[in-house]
Amino acid sequence: MPTALLLASESSGITVNGPLVVASFDLFGITWNLTESIIVQWFVILILLAVVLILTHNMKVIPETRRQAAAEWIVEFFRGTVDTSMGAKYKAYQPYIAALFCFSLISSLMSLLGLRSPTADISVTGAWALITFFLIQYNRAKTGKVKGYFKSFVEPLPFMLPFNIIGEIANPVSLALRHFGNLVAGMVIGSLIYFALGNFAILIPAVASLYFDIFSAVMQAYIFIMLTMSYVSSAECGD
């Protein structure tokens, strides 16, 4: 069952574990773990690299192949998405948003190959949310300068300072937990369905997998980039 985190025998039940630690090593007095999430992400990078090379090979000024037409459609889609959600002045974010969506989507779909989805690891979605957090702070500092940046934390009144700080931290945390939680929930539900049906697990788990592994993967990737664009673009402030 692709969506299963770990299925034990029917007598022992279902066990939900974190990513498998493949190897560990010590560096600078710290123990570093090489987990399956890291390995699968490198696999995702190779898949995306192969897709990009195939779609962009031997491109012409006027499209002559469906491959180039598909590549141009993808570029136009993300260009339009960023322009609509953030504005034309944020066009520099187009490559990042496109890469974030594709990486999230392919990572979630790894479960179809029997691999653990990296997006079911909170450290993965947490890292993406951390990048969003720094982009928010960068955009606020860029548009408001030093004075406007610090002033934004005490608006509309000074006593709002702790609440504004909590809000700044809560946005990326909720962003990471939303993506992670939905993927893990789908994996657990899929496992429960497979476990409950036992020997009759023929069609229903496959239908459930279409939703949890495909539809949910697309939706979560799209929601993640939309919230990222919303948080970053709304972080503008005056000096």
- For the stretch 10-62, pLDDT in tens is 444 556 666 777 777 787 878 877 888 889 999 999 999 999 999 988 888 78
Segments forming the whole domain that contains residue 52: 21-233
Q: Is residue 34 one of the residues assigned to a domain? A: yes
Query: Does the structure show a pLDDT above 60 at 3?
Result: no
Q: Is residue 5 one of the residues assigned to a domain? A: no
Q: Is residue 1 one of the residues assigned to a domain? A: no
Overall size of the chain counted in residues: 239
Report the alpha-carbon angle 234-104-189, nearest 5: 110
Q: How many domains does the chain have?
A: 1
Window from 27-31, 44-48, 140-144, 199-203 with minimum mean pLDDT: 199-203
For 104, 108, 110, 169, 213, the CA distances from 42, given in Å and listed in that order, are 13, 14, 12, 29, 20
- Burial class of residue 236, CB neighbours in 10 A (0-12, 13-18, 19+): middle
Q: Are 180 and 120 in contact (CB under 8 A)?
A: yes
Residues 18-42 as b or e (16 or more Cβ within 10 Å = b): ebeeeeeeeeeeeeeeebbbbbbbe
How do beta strands 21-27 and 30-35 pair?
A: antiparallel
Bigger pLDDT: 155 vs 200: 155
Q: Is residue 37 one of the residues assigned to a domain? A: yes
User: Would the CA dihedral through 12, 17, 22, 23 be positive or negative?
Assistant: negative
Query: Does the structure show a pLDDT above 90 at 192?
Result: no
Query: Does the structure show a pLDDT above 80 at 176?
Result: yes
Q: Is residue 49 one of the residues assigned to a domain? A: yes
Structural element, H or E, at residue 177: helix 161-197
The whole-angstrom distance between residue 196's C-alpha and the CA centroid of its chain comes to: 30
Whole-model pTM above 0.75?
yes
Q: Is residue 12 one of the residues assigned to a domain? A: no
Confidence of residue 9 (pLDDT cuts 50, 70, 90): very low
Q: Is residue 6 one of the residues assigned to a domain? A: no
Q: Is residue 14 one of the residues assigned to a domain? A: no
Bigger pLDDT: 200 vs 135: 135
